[in-house]
A and B are shown apart, each in its own frame.
Chain A
Amino acid sequence: MKNKDLIFEKSRPGKIGYSLPGLDVPSKNDILPEKVQRKNPAPLPEVAEGEVLRHYINLSQLNHSVDNGFYPLGSCTMKYNPKINEDVSRLPGLAGLHPYQSEEMTQGALKMMHDLEKYLCEIAGMDRLTLQPAAGAHGELTGLMLMRAYHRHRGQEQRKKIIIPDSGHGTNPASVTMVDYETVEIPSSETGCVDLEALKEVLDDQVAGLMITNPNTLGFYESNITEICRLVREAGGLLYYDGANANAIMGYSRPGDMGFDIIHYNLHKTFGTPHGGGGPGSGPVGVKDKLIPFLPCPLIEEEDGQYFFDYDRPQSIGRVRSFFGNFGVLIKAYTYIRMMGAQGLKQVSEDAVLNANYIMENLADTYYLKYHRNCMHEFVLSGKKQKDEHGVTTTDIVKNLLDHGIHPPTVYFPLIVEEAMMIEPTETESKETLDRFIEVMEEIAKMAEEDPEKLKGAPYTTPVRRLDEAGAARNPILKWEPEQ
């Protein structure tokens, strides 16, 4: 039986989980004036090492993860995380580098980052790239800052509008607000792509740029992408490519060739680095030539086989965080790219796209599919049919997946599909897993027909059952407190 007590509830006075050598210098008690000293020690738990270990191992077993089951969470690219990457990122010659060490002592790291920049530029069709942003959303923010700096440099500060299709990720408009820009949302057309007429209507000399995901969140490659890019460029705007869905197109299509000026990648999606339960990620930002001067400081340069940081970049937007990026994550992405090569990455996209289409076609009759045509790496299914006919919601449907050891898809997103279930299997799932998923989804549809009440009660077998989220928000308990 698993003990789900909080670590604080396991604490008993006097227990310790650490050891330190004795203090080998003379101890002085007059270093700190009394007023700056802590009066009461932080009431941290008192537990032994073995108890801490057991606590966390028990906690870990309450999680669903890629390593214990299918995780078709749309737009998140929950692919398998190669274990070699974990090993090499822990090598002392890498993990033990201090960021204030000299370039001379860190040549291996600098070369690796320089090469990674080169590879990512090649895959994206861009000219230079910063590895600094810590996550996709951080990359978006950086990209928008670059846009701002570019327009300011050209004396076009009035450009403040960012056009975003209504299928865009929520981070896009949130990032726009952070640079004091304004979001202009445009509707999707009947085919699930950007509506060119709607786009034309909002284009004017106030437009700073367009942010778009391609393939979009419906899983469709924007069929008019060159036209979209041309129109925005003609209006004086810049083109931002949200790389969340880049897993679909490696070796098949490059954002730089489509006409984009700025791109961010999510290394934790496309390049196989683990999601870590919500971080650390990494969100490198690539640009075309005209934006290079504005990239964050520093960039890594090479001269005669020697690598160095270039801080002398007067037009740079500055830095967006400390140091050079999530180095530990960069190592993993680098290793992944080296093990895949050009052919391997292309195969990744092929398998990701084939897997998605296979599931889509096999579930197209069972569930409502608003847009039925070949998708790329993901597609959006809907629980509308079950809702209309049997009164069960998408939430009810996906909660039943939990009882089958399957993580639900992304739900209720994109907002333009009612009762949406966004399914992205990734390339690291076998046909056998997909067949099992299809079978389970069919079983659930059948249950919606035959026993909707039971369906609504799911999940039944998970560590906890449906949780009162409204109550949690109404009366927020955000930390443990000792009983009075």
Chain B
Amino acid sequence: MNHQFLPNNEASRKEMLESIGLSSIEELFGCCIPEQVRFKGELDLPEPLSEMEARRLLTQIANVNRPASSMVSFLGGGVADHYIPAAIDHIVSRSEFYTAYTPYQAEVSQGTLQNIFEFQTLICMLTGMDVANASMYDGASALAEGVLMASATTRLDKIVISQTVNPQYRETVQTYAQATGLEVVEIPHKEGLTDVEAMGEEVDDQTAAIVFQNPNFFGQVEDPFPISELKEKGKKTLLISVVDPISLGVLVPPGDYDCDIALGEGQPLGNPVSFGGPHLGFFAATQKLVRKMPGRLIGQTKDVDGQRGFVMTLQTREQHIRRHRATSNICTNQALNALAAAAYLNLMGKEGLQEVAQHCLQKANYLKEKIAALPGYTVPFEGPSFKEFVVKANRPFTSIQEKMVDRGFLPGIHLQPYYEGMEDWFLVCVTESRTRDELDRFAAGLEGV
């Protein structure tokens, strides 16, 4: 058969078969695959489509959906519709980037390698940490890897984690922990913040890591300093901080509060929401932990002519060298998503990141105050919040949601599935993409439903 993705025609197939002394493709497969495991029938798949039909089909599928991007969205929870500068898609659409693989051959992979080296640098600048890796699958799995790394480094098995950490991240940590026999202790929140006192009671000389998130899942800004001080209650305890990269335009970076591992979801940096993936996790640590890091690390070196170049380095940590003694099984990163993130940080630059963060902060707090003043709604958690905040209604959220969706708004994330007793509570996210007009109409809408 001829197909647009298959460059060999019948004539060249025949010629190749002849040249290797075979009469048919059947003969080739016949001598390789034992008869009893040969699949005899035809796979039950839909008839093949032409490109035009495929485009039509996918457009139909897309049209069945009602995407957040066509509405006024207040959905966050770690994935948010920050504005993506036009230049980014043009950069990630370069097929020299997206049709390459892991840079095994450094001489012809300098584009990918230099970009990752720059990405590592940008993440260090953002977090104030010493070293960053080439990226992980997403924020949740980055945290799971961080927890494993803390356990491996300290040779301790107890993880103390605040319940203000993103519920999906905690679920992922639980999944990994179950498989490795780690003990995970979750500390219930106290009025929307990490209960530092209760956390302190759990930290002991068996504690590998303390985990908190800032801003936390409720959008509340934590005071990281007393949490960091809890490390002293343990022996070798490390502090893992989950951070929103955009918030680091205004919030104190992990490097300033003696954090050991800083990580998070990189989607807000130039990546589309895309129904939850592909995104990227970023992962940074202190210098002394570098040889325990999971994932790829790119280092600077020189070629035989003395020219600067970049290579994958410290590979003795990795699976293809150390096999079962590797620090992790991770062998890919999210290079293309990291490319978008790096391009975003470069375009926004020193000024832009602060400005975006300010816009989020100011707009979210403007809306928070407006909603707090509405009859039937309260803002239950006191204290500062960044771009998200929790609202409690005096009636079921599901009915509010239904009516708001009819008016073109996605009002937020229902908290009930994740936290007990929050039936009428929801999490509202405001990015720089929302206008004052949208915020005013949203508040008016809430009042009316």
What is the size category of the interface that chain B forms with chain A?
35 or more
What are 16 residue pairs bridging A and B, where the CB atoms are less than 8 Å apart in the complex?
A17-B348, A17-B352, A38-B249, A42-B126, A52-B87, A52-B347, A81-B95, A93-B62, A94-B65, A97-B274, A140-B329, A253-B37, A350-B25, A354-B25, A463-B108, A480-B300
- A57 B313 Cβ-Cβ under 8 A: no
> Inside 8 A of B87's CB, which chain A residues have their CB?
17, 49, 52-53
Find residues 71-94 in chain A having any chain B CB closer than 8 Å to their own CB. 71, 73, 76, 78, 80-82, 84, 86-88, 90-94
Whether A88 touches B54, Cβ cut-off 8 Å, given contacts A63-B100, A96-B67, A252-B33, is: yes
User: A253 touching B48 by the CB < 8 A rule?
Assistant: no
Contact A44/B122 with A97-B67, A170-B323, A279-B333 known, Cβ cut-off 8 Å: yes
Verify B100–A465 contact, CB threshold 8 A: no
Given contacts A53-B90, A277-B102, A339-B49, contact A477 B299 (CB under 8 A): yes
Q: How far is the CA of A84 from the CA of B50 in the complex (A)?
A: 11
The answer to whether A347 touches B178, judged by C-beta atoms less than 8 angstroms apart, is: no
Q: How large is the interface on A (under 10, 10 to 19, 20 to 34, 35 or more residues)?
A: 35 or more
The B324-354 residues at the A interface (CB cut-off 8 A) are: 324-326, 328-337, 339, 343, 345-354
Q: Determine the chain B residues whose CB is within 8 A of the CB of A335 once the complex forms.
A: 54, 58
In the assembled complex, the Cα of A353 lies from the Cα of B77 at a distance in Å of 46
B63-94 interface mask toward A, CB cutoff 8 Å, 1 = contact, 0 = none? 11111111001010111010101010111011
B303 interface hit (Cβ, 8 Å): yes
A interface footprint on B218-247 (CB within 8 Å = 1, 0 otherwise): 000111110000000000000000000000
Q: Which of B1-36 contact A (CB under 8 A)?
A: 1, 3, 5-8, 12-13, 15-17, 19-22, 25, 28-29, 31-34, 36
Determine if A361 and B20 form an interchain contact, defined as CB atoms under 8 angstroms apart: yes
Taking the closest CB of chain A, its distance from the CB of B333, in whole angstroms, is 5
Bound-complex Cα distance A341 to B46 (A): 6
Flag if A44 contacts B125 (CB, 8 Å): yes
A408 and B335 alpha carbons, distance in the complex (Å): 20
Q: Are B304 and A465 in contact (CB under 8 A)?
A: yes
* Contact for A65 among B73, B95, B303, CB less than 8 A: B95
Q: Mark B163-203, 1 if CB is under 8 A from A, else 0.
A: 00010110110111011110000000000000000000000
Q: Is A357 an interface residue (CB 8 A)?
A: yes
Least CB distance, A219 to chain B, in whole angstroms: 9
Across the A-B interface, give the 3 residue pairs with the lowest CB-CB distance, nearest first. Answer: A93-B62, A323-B276, A96-B69
Bound-complex Cα distance A252 to B124 (A)? 49
Knowing A36-B252, A341-B47, A342-B42, the reply to whether A467 touches B106 (Cβ < 8 A) is yes
CA distance A117 to B189 in the complex (A): 38
Taking the complex as formed, is B298 at the interface, i.e. its CB lies under 8 A from any CB of chain A? Answer: yes
Task: Evaluate contact between B384 and A36: CB separation under 8 angstroms.
Answer: yes
Q: Is A207 an interface residue (CB 8 A)?
A: no
- Knowing A97-B67, A358-B20, the reply to whether A171 touches B121 (Cβ < 8 A) is no
Q: Which of A42, A338, A479 contacts B120 (CB 8 A)?
A: A479
A98, B5: Cα distance in complex, Å: 32
Across the interface, A459 reaches (CB within 8 A) one of B48, B107, B323, B336, namely B107
Tell whether, in the assembled complex, residue A430 and residue B12 are in contact, meaning their CB atoms are under 8 Å apart: yes
Closest Cβ–Cβ distance, residue A34 to chain B (whole Å)? 10
Q: Which of A87, A340, A466 contacts B303 (CB 8 A)?
A: A466
Contacts of B55 in A (CB 8 A): 84, 87-88
Interface stretch, picked from A221-229, A234-242, A285-293, A443-451, is A221-229
- B62 to A92, Cβ gap below 8 A? yes
Residues A81 and B350 in contact, CB atoms below 8 Å apart:
no
Partner of B384, one of A31, A66, A91: A31
* Proximity string of chain B (127-145) to chain A, C-beta cutoff 8 Å, 1 when within and 0 when not: 0100110110111110000
- When C-beta atoms are compared, the residue in chain B nearest to A335 turns out to be B54
A322 at the binding interface (Cβ < 8 Å): yes
Inter-chain CA distance A67–B48, complex, in Å, is: 24
A407 to B106, CA, bound (A): 11
Known: A96-B273, A175-B329. A343 touches B61 (CB 8 A): no
Write out the residue numbers on chain A whose beta carbons fall within 8 Å of the beta carbon of B110: 4, 59, 62-63, 463-464
Closest to A30 in B: B384
Q: Flag whether B146 is at the interface (Cβ < 8 A).
A: no
Q: Are B248 and A38 in contact (CB under 8 A)?
A: yes
How far apart sit A250 and B29, CA to CA, in the bound complex (Å)?
Answer: 12
Q: Report the separation of the CA atoms of residues A95 and B55 in the bound assembly, to the nearest whole angstrom.
A: 15
Is B423 engaged at the interface, CB distance under 8 Å to the other chain? Answer: no
Q: Are A277 and B97 in contact (CB under 8 A)?
A: yes
Cβ–Cβ < 8 Å partners of A170 in chain B: 318-323, 326, 331
B111 within 8 A of partner (CB): yes
Q: Is there an interface contact between B95 and A41, defined as CB atoms closer than 8 Å?
A: no
Within 8 A of B (CB), among A413-455: 413, 427-431, 433-434
Q: Does A337 contact B (CB under 8 A)?
A: yes
A174 engages B223 (CB within 8 Å): no
> Could you say which of A98, A141, A276, A478 contacts B410, with CB atoms under 8 Å apart?
A98
Q: Is the CB of B349 within 8 A of A17?
A: yes
Q: Decide yes or no whether B432 CB sits under 8 A from chain A.
A: yes
A39 touches B334 (CB 8 A): no
Q: Is B114 an interface residue (CB 8 A)?
A: yes
Given contacts A98-B75, A179-B179, could you give 15 more A-B pairs where the C-beta distance is less than 8 Å? A15-B349, A46-B349, A66-B95, A73-B101, A88-B58, A173-B326, A180-B179, A319-B171, A328-B272, A339-B54, A341-B48, A351-B6, A353-B25, A430-B12, A467-B107
Q: Report if A374 contacts B (CB, 8 A).
A: yes
In this assembly, does A27 line the interface, its C-beta being within 8 Å of a C-beta of chain B? yes
CA distance A141 to B279 in the complex (A): 19
State A180–B176 Cα separation when bound (angstroms). 10
A340→B324 contact, CB < 8 A: no
Task: Check B272 against A342 for contact (C-beta < 8 Å).
Answer: no
Whether a CB of chain B sits under 8 angstroms from the CB of A25 is yes
Which A residue sits closest to B80, measured CB to CB? Answer: A98
Given contacts A94-B65, A119-B45, whether A137 and B275 have CB atoms under 8 Å apart is: no
Among B205-213, B355-363, B374-382, the one that faces the other chain is: B355-363
Complex contact B108–A64 (CB within 8 A):
yes
Contact B111 A63 (CB under 8 A): yes
**Interface digits, B292-306 against A, CB 8 Å rule (1 contact, 0 not)?**
000011111111110
Which of B106, B128, B224 has the most chain A CB within a 10 Å cutoff? B106
Q: Is B109 an interface residue (CB 8 A)?
A: yes
